[in-house]
């Protein structure tokens, strides 16, 4: 799941659960998660060993079968 | 027949070692020591909120037994008859473990192993100390038992989460404390209050019987007034066998220290920079070699940390949040709820990065005795403030306080905070030494050397007993 889709679902869920104050924290978390994913190459994500791997910053954007 | 106690206490001992010497020589009795600590608690706790539970009756009974045992010639070592405190995240049989929360406490039937070891060493558990609720914070203003106030300035935080322990030591309410440290929760309050705090190597001291925050990052460790006292507490907590010669057995010559400047020195207040510089200069004048270095990926620490601590905390608290959400402090509840949204993929990504960070710190330590850096980027913040000034910028308090300590929770390296003096604002500042994994004993020996040099170079540091 990419970050935008994740944030949209998490924010909607927080609303349903009556936790509107959670939304700014989720925004912060989204930025941290994006930064962590962006560091996949730096941390040598093992998928990088596959020649045809998806871009390392979004290895699972397409749903796997 | 052994002689009875020969004098009455006329002055409160300033350190655990001093108190232990007086007890061993029967110049001060454990009951006197315990009563003196209880008096300090009675005088100061209503305002400082250092203790949640004071175990007066039980402590005096244990002290009386210790007194009889020592008088009969059975002296168990430097912790025998010495009053110590336990963070109220750690189980002590027969007392509630509140974790600083209004959430219903655990009611343990058994002591945590670390407490059992202390009791085996003869320590007197005097009470359970206050903390940031469930150890999920660094300011200790989110607790059901009153914000923990810093004795240096009561409008300010004592740090966190093991804040009550630091205040209890600073105020002479005990001689050693059990703390826990998931992102800096021993070293941060030690730095904010001007005492010493050790996070041992990951897993070295058992965390069984401790309310978890993060099973990957939680550490249990000692807090005390000096490095020597911290070593005595460490050994008592580790295996119940504290001895003075266990510290001195580690020979220390001229030290090789590395200062990791990039990232760690990006956001420091002026007094941290000044006092760290003075400490470094004192060490160099004493013949120790100090070089600058960089730790790869260090700037990724907070992101990695967040994606480990939050989902692990959310796992433990999930059932409690379902039943008792309204009993959590609002901020603590929200941070726990945040962890419920982290994807397993990102948790595992952070665990993978953790291994790389561990290798990076191992690499930085090659050929060195220890890393040397500040322990806390600022002096103790004002209670209730969400941000703090560093230079012309406003920075978030929590992230700032964790900035210099949390990497070593992620990597598991032992780290110790030592006072390096008072800033011009009257607030303590501290250095941090980081040792090799599995090298806690060596780190303590290095820290004892560094402490001596800092004291020699800058005059007396740290907090007295008041």
pLDDT digits (tens, 9 = 90+) for B8-57: 566 788 999 999 999 999 999 999 999 999 999 999 999 999 999 999 99
- A36–B338 C-beta distance less than 8 A: no
Q: How confident is the model at residue A48 (pLDDT cuts 50, 70, 90)?
A: confident
Give me B236's structure tokens: 């008592």
B432 within some domain:
yes
Q: How confident is the model at residue B244 (pLDDT cuts 50, 70, 90)?
A: confident
Find the mean pLDDT for residues B232-254: 87
Q: Looking at B161, B162, B177, B329, which residue is catalytic?
A: B161
Question: pLDDT at position B251, please?
Answer: 64
A21 within some domain:
yes
Mutate to test the interface with A, among B136, B338, B341 (most CBs of A within 10 A): B341
Mind listing the pLDDT tens digit for each residue in B156-167? 999 999 999 999
CB B67 within 8 A of CB B46: no
Among residues B215, B248, B281, the one where a domain terminates is B248
Find the mean pLDDT for residues B169-187: 98
Residues sharing a CB contact under 8 Å with residue B76, sequence separation 6 or more, in sequence order: B69, B121, B122
Question: pLDDT at position B4, please?
Answer: 55
Residue B461 has pLDDT above 60, yes or no: no
Interface residue ranges in chain B relative to chain A, Cβ cutoff 8 Å: 297, 300, 302-304, 306-307, 310, 330, 334-335, 337-338, 341-343, 345-346, 349-350, 352-353, 356
Q: Looking at B85, B87, B157, B177, which residue is catalytic?
A: B87
What are the CB-based long-range contacts (under 8 Å, 24+) for B451-457? B451/B196, B451/B226, B451/B227, B451/B418, B453/B282, B453/B283, B453/B286, B453/B288, B454/B279, B454/B282, B454/B283, B454/B418, B454/B420, B454/B421, B456/B282, B456/B286, B457/B278, B457/B279, B457/B281, B457/B282, B457/B283, B457/B285, B457/B286
Indicate which CATH number applies to the domain containing B425: 3.90.1300.10
Domain that holds residue B32: 16-248
B410 within some domain:
yes
| Partner residue facing B303 (CB), from A19, A35, A46 | A35
Residues B38 and B102 in one domain: yes
B450 within some domain:
yes
Residues B82 and B119 in one domain: yes
Among residues B248, B279, B310, the one where a domain terminates is B248
Residues B162 and B275 in one domain: no
- Does A43 contact B at CB distance below 8 Å? yes
Mind listing the pLDDT tens digit for each residue in B302-323? 999 999 999 999 999 999 999 9
- Quote the ipTM score: 0.91
Residues B366 and B421 in one domain: yes
Residues B47 and B130 in one domain: yes
Residue B438 has pLDDT above 80, yes or no: yes
Number of domains in chain A: 1
For chain B, give the percent of residues with pLDDT over 90.
92
Residues B231 and B290 in one domain: no
Residues B171 and B26 in one domain: yes
B438 within some domain:
yes
Question: pLDDT at position B254, please?
Answer: 94
- The answer to whether residue B327 is catalytic is no
Q: pTM for the whole thing?
A: 0.94
A58 within some domain:
no
Between CA B442 and CA B149 the distance in angstroms is: 34
Mind listing the pLDDT tens digit for each residue in B377-410? 999 999 999 999 999 999 999 999 999 999 999 9
Between CA B74 and CA B60 the distance in angstroms is: 19
Q: How confident is the model at residue B457 (pLDDT cuts 50, 70, 90)?
A: confident
A62 within some domain:
no
- The answer to whether residue B248 is catalytic is no
B341 within some domain:
no
Mean pLDDT (chain B, rounded): 95
B363 within some domain:
yes
Residues B279 and B409 in one domain: yes
Domain that holds residue A17: 3-49
Residues B233 and B175 in one domain: yes
Question: pLDDT at position B291, please?
Answer: 98
- B352–A35 C-beta distance less than 8 A: no
Residues B157 and B207 in one domain: yes
Question: pLDDT at position B85, please?
Answer: 98
Q: How confident is the model at residue B466 (pLDDT cuts 50, 70, 90)?
A: very low
A34 within some domain:
yes
> Which of B29-43, B141-155, B241-255 is least confident?
B241-255
Among residues B228, B248, B268, the one where a domain terminates is B248
Residues B271 and B410 in one domain: yes
A42 within some domain:
yes
Question: pLDDT at position B255, please?
Answer: 96
For chain A, give the percent of residues with pLDDT over 90.
63
Number of domains in chain B: 2
| Partner residue facing A22 (CB), from B306, B338, B352 | B338
B465 within some domain:
no
Residues B180 and B273 in one domain: no
Residue B135 has pLDDT above 60, yes or no: yes
């Amino acid at each position: 799941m990419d970050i935008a889709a994740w944030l949209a679902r998490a924010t909607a869920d927080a609303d349903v659960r009556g936790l509107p104050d959670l939304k700014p924290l989720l925004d912060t978390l989204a930025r941290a998660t994006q930064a962590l994913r962006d560091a996949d190459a730096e941390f040598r994500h093992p998928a990088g060993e596959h020649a045809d791997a998806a871009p390392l910053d979004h290895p699972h954007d397409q749903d796997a079968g | 027949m052994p002689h009875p106690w020969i004098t009455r206490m006329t002055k409160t001992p300033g350190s655990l070692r001093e108190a232990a010497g007086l007890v061993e020589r029967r110049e001060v009795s454990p009951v006197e020591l315990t009563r003196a600590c209880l008096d300090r608690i009675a005088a100061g706790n209503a305002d400082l909120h250092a203790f949640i539970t004071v175990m007066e009756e039980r402590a005096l009974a244990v002290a009386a037994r210790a007194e009889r045992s020592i008088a009969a010639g059975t002296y168990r070592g430097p912790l025998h008859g010495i009053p110590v405190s336990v963070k109220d995240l750690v189980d002590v049989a027969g007392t509630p473990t509140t974790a600083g929360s209004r959430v219903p406490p655990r009611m343990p039937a058994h002591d945590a192993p670390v407490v059992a070891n202390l009791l085996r060493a003869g320590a007197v558990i005097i009470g359970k100390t206050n903390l940031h609720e469930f150890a999920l914070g660094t300011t200790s203003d989110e607790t059901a038992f009153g914000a923990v106030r810093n004795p240096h300035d009561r409008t300010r935080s004592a740090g966190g989460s093991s804040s009550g322990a630091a205040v209890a030591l600073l105020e002479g309410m005990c001689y050693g404390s059990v703390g826990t440290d998931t992102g800096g929760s021993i070293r941060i309050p030690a730095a904010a209050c001007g005492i010493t705090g050790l996070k041992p190597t990951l897993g070295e001291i058992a965390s069984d019987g401790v309310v978890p925050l993060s099973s990957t990052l939680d550490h249990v460790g000692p807090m005390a007034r000096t490095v020597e006292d911290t070593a005595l507490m460490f050994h008592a907590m580790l295996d119940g066998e504290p001895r003075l010669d266990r510290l001195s057995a580690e020979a220390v010559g001229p030290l090789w220290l590395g200062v990791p400047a990039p990232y760690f020195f990006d956001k420091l207040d002026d007094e941290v920079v000044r006092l760290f510089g003075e400490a470094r200069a004192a060490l160099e004048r004493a013949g120790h070699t100090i070089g600058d270095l960089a730790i790869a990926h260090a700037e990724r620490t907070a992101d990695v940390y967040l994606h480990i601590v939050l989902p692990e905390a959310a796992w433990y608290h999930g059932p409690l949040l379902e039943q008792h959400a309204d009993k959590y402090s609002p901020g603590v509840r929200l941070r726990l709820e945040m962890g419920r949204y982290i994807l397993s993929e990102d948790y595992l990504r952070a665990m993978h990065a953790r291994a790389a960070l561990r290798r990076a710190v191992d690499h930085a330590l090659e050929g060195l005795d220890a890393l040397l850096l500040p322990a806390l980027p600022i002096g103790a913040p004002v209670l209730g403030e969400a941000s703090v000034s560093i230079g012309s910028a406003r920075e978030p308090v929590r992230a700032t306080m964790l900035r210099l300590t949390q990497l070593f929770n992620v990597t598991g390296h032992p780290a110790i905070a030592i006072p390096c003096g008072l800033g011009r604002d009257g607030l303590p500042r501290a250095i941090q030494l980081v040792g090799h994994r599995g090298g806690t004993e060596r780190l303590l020996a290095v820290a004892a050397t560094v402490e001596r040099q800092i004291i020699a170079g800058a005059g007396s540091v740290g907090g007295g007993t008041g």
